[in-house]
Amino acid sequence: MMSSGYTSLDNQKVSGSVAAVSDPGHVSVKFTDSSLQTFPPSQAQGKISGGYRPPRDADDSFSKPAHGSSSDEPESGGWMRKFMVSAYKQYFDVDTSDVLERIKDSLIPFRGSFTEKTASNPDLYGPFWISTTLIFVAASIGTFATYLAHKLQKKEWDYDINMVTWSACLFYGYVTIVPVVLYLLLKYFSAPSGLIQLWCLYGYSLFVFIPALCLSIVPVEIFRWVVAGVAGIMSATFVAHNLKVHIASAGERWLLIVAGIFLLQLGLAVVLKLYLFTVTV
């Protein structure tokens, strides 16, 4: 009995002491829901997410960002925007499959579906690299052809560095200036086409000259002329077939446009043949 009494008394003391103890420095913390950003972002744009919508060049102007969209670079309205790098970013958003598909279409000149396929997404990536590749292929193969010709005749040979400079001026100048001239001509005849679309079309039309230059290394003069002629005709036919809608709307003057396209492409082939593969020893 005494043990039970002492136990009850001890419990009362402990209970009293616990109730009497307070912690004035205790602060209750309430955790709220986290608002961390979800990765990847739900509003991601680009070819990977599929949210990207390529620009159109049908109205002959560079597309502007959508209303309310943000950009890392300051916006500039009017014609000054065309001199900014941001105006051309959208025309380099293509992947390998896009470029390969367009190259394949350029090698089938009579199909005429290139313009339809690229109407909503004309690119400048392919034309730039095709022109750059042509510069080095033309310079290297032309140099190698002259080297072989000199060695076969046991003549002294010197490398001509000007061939690289000449090739750069030829291809970059051609793929830039000729579409601009054609754009102005079509606009004058009331059959306008987008300038970016023309740059894209002419850039890919030059791809056929890469295998043509590689075949021209064969030291047979007639064979070289045939290769140059076939490449020029294929390139000209590719451009003409893909501009047939614009050319047809020009009325009776369509013959002038077609003749200009063919003469320019054939002229490029002849210049390549005469300058790069006419060897004088």
User: How confident is the model at residue 230, as a pLDDT?
Assistant: 93
Q: What CA–CA distance (Å, rounded) separates 16 from 246?
A: 99
Cβ contact 121:192 at 8 Å = no
Rounded to the nearest 5 percent, the helix, strand and coil shares of the chain are 60, 0, 40
The pair of structure tokens assigned to 266 is: 């054939």
User: How confident is the model at residue 9, as a pLDDT?
Assistant: 46
CA distances (Å), origin 209, targets 31, 46, 214: 68, 32, 8
User: How confident is the model at residue 277, as a pLDDT?
Assistant: 63
Helix (H) or strand (E) segment spanning residue 227: helix 221-242
Q: Which residue ranges in the chain fall short of pLDDT 70? A: 1-79, 81-82, 250-251, 276-281
pTM over the 0.75 mark? no
Q: Among all chains, which residue has been given the structure tokens 């943000």? A: 70
User: How confident is the model at residue 25, as a pLDDT?
Assistant: 54
Cβ contact 193:246 at 8 Å = yes
Q: What CA–CA distance (Å, rounded) separates 184 from 192?
A: 8
* Interval 201-243: pLDDT, tens: 999 999 999 999 888 888 788 998 999 999 999 999 999 889 8
The pair of structure tokens assigned to 226 is: 């045939």
Q: Where are the domains of the chain?
A: 123-276
> Which residues lie below 8 Å from residue 218, measured CB to CB, with a gap of 6+?
224
User: How confident is the model at residue 106, as a pLDDT?
Assistant: 92
Of 246, 99, 268, 92, the residue nearest 177 (C-alpha)? 268
User: How confident is the model at residue 111, as a pLDDT?
Assistant: 84
User: How confident is the model at residue 176, as a pLDDT?
Assistant: 93
- Angle 18-24-26 (CA atoms, 0-180°, nearest 5)? 95
Cβ contact 145:112 at 8 Å = no
Q: What CA–CA distance (Å, rounded) separates 248 from 256?
A: 11
User: How confident is the model at residue 193, as a pLDDT?
Assistant: 81
